[in-house]
Chain A
Amino acid sequence: MPRLKFQTLTEQMFYVLLCLRQEQCGMEILDQVDALTGGRVKVGSGTLYNLLEQFLDAEMIRETKVEGRKRSYILTEAGRKRLAEEYQRISAQAEDYKKLMIEGGDLP
């Protein structure tokens, strides 16, 4: 099944949006994702560029300033909402895991 655009965020999408809770440029995002995940999640620079373009098109982020070759962005309301939804989805998954695998519960 091809993945529907932004219906489920990939890890890379999730962390890029997360970084944009505050104003960041692309270069800062690359560093932040790496730092935030301890190097577990790698975002390629080409992938990041394309993601930023797509988030802009989907109005999930907006451009805030341009300084030389640095363009900065920040989440929009739509972006925050989408990120929150993703958090809910991941949390629900984690909750279900905890219930069944850690606490030894049964299926309802």
Chain B
Amino acid sequence: MNSAPIDVLVIGSGPAGMAAAIQARKSGSERVLLVERAEELGGLLSQCIHNGFGLIYFSEDMTGPEYGQKFIEKVMDSKIEVLLETMVLRLTADRKVTLCNRNGVQTLAPKSVVLTMGCRERARESIVISGYRPAGIFTAGTAQRWVNIEGYLPGKEIVILGSGDVGMIMARRLTLEGARVKAVVEILPYIGGLIRNEVQCIYDFNIPVLLEHTISNIHGIQRVNGVTVARLDQDKNPIPGTEKFIECDTLLLSVGLIPENELSFMAGVDLDPITGGPIVNERMETNVSGIYAAGNCVHVNDLVDNVTLEGEKAGQNAAEYASGKASQEMRIKLEAGENVRYVVPQMITGKREVTIRLRVKEPGRDVILRVGDIMAKKLKVVKPSEMLNLIVSAKHLKEIKKRTDKLVMSCQKES
């Protein structure tokens, strides 16, 4: 390996990591190192064989592997150094990165680091459903890997808890493979994922959906042999007498994604308790100097295109940092107000145009999205499952009063 110091080290080669690495090279970094724990580049894109990728970034409807391949080729063409099957064991606040692979353990000192570790799925063990501990309970993503990459079906008769996108996509996928999806069970009164998936994964195949229901029991000691579903009251407690047994051999869970931030935590990166990811400014920079973050490890996105765009921003700024450019003062704090669950970035300069991403808490129609008192935008519909992108122009930002150090984002019913 080259003995010159590494400019930018990117942890994780999913869509955010690949975009960050490519952009860092484009922005002039000589040595960019992309570290991936799996056997191939691309993160989870290779198992997401469904379409719907690239509609924004490429204006084209692509599958996950196709979308990934475009970036894998760019990584290869732009002389980015790649380490596969390599785990980052440690990250320190002064950017010492300890890597481990079949060649050994080594500690590198890159000039800047981009965190793009993605997210993990909430597992059965952390959601506390009454029952034994049988085989046959999978997170939707793990099931997706088995079905689409390894070539095995987790089961033949399936119940899915949670109507997030991965859950719905697996409902269609398993139905197409000849399995029977007997129900998609959702705690909320509405489907959790994108409308496209609701129609094309659920309604297209007449898959029964049980809204405002939960799974109260998992049956089976060694292998799942059924679940009990129950209707929920307003406080989300099962209503006695509404229990119904559904025979099945497999339970899939699509009950939430959690940003992967063990390394961020080790390095002393401040995390947002709501997103579960690093608090970042508009340059995707964390509180730790020289450490940037992007993609699902910052907040869980619903469109890969946004992840790519965020990765590019982090890569470019990490490259600038590596070349000695000083960071700018982030004076204005963005705060989540009424019916806003979170805002990313959480800090801005207030001087340049900025893209704000946010999620609402509750669905609503005919609402006004406000950025402090400087901007208001009417929206016909908002849903927690559809992330909102809002571009706040420099012109609007000029309206910020001198002393103001925060802007509250709110989403209120139009009066």
Is the pairing of A and B real?
Answer: no
B binding-site residues for A, Cβ under 8 Å: none
A binding-site residues for B, Cβ under 8 Å: none
